[in-house]
Amino acid sequence: MDNWIPNTNAKPFIPKRLRNSTKSTSSGITEFSKRKCISKIFQGGIVVVLIVTIVINITFILETSRKMNDPQKMDEVNGGSTGKEGRGNVVEMTKPKFLSVVVQSSKTSVVVKVDETVIIQDEEFEKNRGIHIAVLNQATGSVMSKNIFDTYSQHEDEALLSYLKKISNGRIIVFTIKDEASFHLKSEARQYLKEMGSEKIENLAFRDTWAFIVKKGGKTNYKVCMLAYAPGVCRTANIESDVVFHRSV
């Protein structure tokens, strides 16, 4: 042993357990670093997408506001052409259109048609007596509400009055009677209908047929009212008339 000389080229001895522990620690650190890097890249991507979205929205809002303040640009937005003919196209687009309303009132049936589409048709025998009402959108003619009030019975005129008062100004209201609606249609309800524009409601008698079309709160040229007297059950009159409304869309 006295003559033993260490080999300077030999690698230092490392116990097997310590060697494996060192390798696993090193690989764990490397894997953690990769995950952290991927997470940061993902978060950065989300931030970039949010920033781009915000910029696009702000640009759109500013551009829309600018066009709304410029009549010529608004013509482009509405599908018109630019240049000298721009203003003329806007006028052409807002030219009034027409809404056709056909109403029928009788003892056995009521019919209401809007632009050739039937929105009320009631021909059931001895059912749904009273005032049939349809409320239309003044711009599109679409049905906003429909109702029936049997004002031959008590207190139905009060419900009718409450319903009419809740309708927004500007709406087109179509009235028509099936069979009978005068018996308990009292003065307060008749007065309200008169103020809406009906010229004949005060004279409505037993089993008279009656139709009334009005734009609530509108001008007098929107009003059409009709009344036919039918004193006997067998002599009930029918009314059918085309009514044209001007509308802007």
- Helical pair 187-196 and 156-166, crossing angle rounded to 10 deg: 30
Q: Residue ranges of the domains in the chain?
A: 9-95, 96-247
What's the DSSP call for residue 106?
B
CB 160 within 8 A of CB 131: yes
Instruction: Give SS3 for 4.
Output: coil
36 vs 213, more confident: 213
pLDDT at 115 over 80: yes
In the beta sheet, which residues pair with residue 212? Answer: 175, 225
Please tell me the distance from the alpha carbon of residue 222 to that of residue 96, in angstroms, as a whole number: 14
To which residue do tokens 């018109």 refer?
80
Q: For 130-147, what is each residue's pLDDT tens digit?
A: 999 999 998 888 999 999
What residues contact 87, with CB distance under 8 A and at least 6 apart? 71, 72, 75
Q: Which residue has the tokens 């979205």?
A: 53
Is residue 111 within 8 A of residue 178, CB to CB? The reply is no
| Percentage, residues of the chain above pLDDT 90 | 41
* Residue 210 pLDDT grade (very low, low, confident, very high; cuts 50, 70, 90): very high
- Residues in contact with 206: Cβ distance below 8 Å, sequence separation at least 6, in sequence order: 180, 182, 183, 231
Q: What's the pLDDT at 147?
A: 97
What's the confidence (pLDDT) of residue 112?
A: 94
Please report where in the chains the tokens 């910029």 appear, as a residue.
55
Which residue in this structure is represented by tokens 């029928």? 104
Residue 178: which of 73, 88, 108, 91 has the closest Cα? 108
- Residues 38-49 have pLDDT tens digits of 877 888 888 888
The region of weakest confidence among 20-34, 78-92, 122-136, 188-202 is 78-92
Strands (E), the chain: 97-105, 110-114, 117-122, 130-136, 143-149, 172-178, 209-215, 224-228, 239-247
Residue 77's φ and ψ, nearest 5 degrees, are: -60, -40
Give the other-Cβ count within 10 Å of 239's Cβ.
16
> Does position 3 have pLDDT exceeding 80, yes or no?
no
150 pLDDT above the threshold of 80? yes
Computed over its alpha carbons, how large is the radius of gyration of the chain? 40
State the Cα angle at 193 between 176 and 234, rounded to 5°: 35
Please give the C-alpha separations between residue 148 and each of 93, 132, 151, 222, in angstroms, as whole numbers. Answer: 37, 5, 9, 23
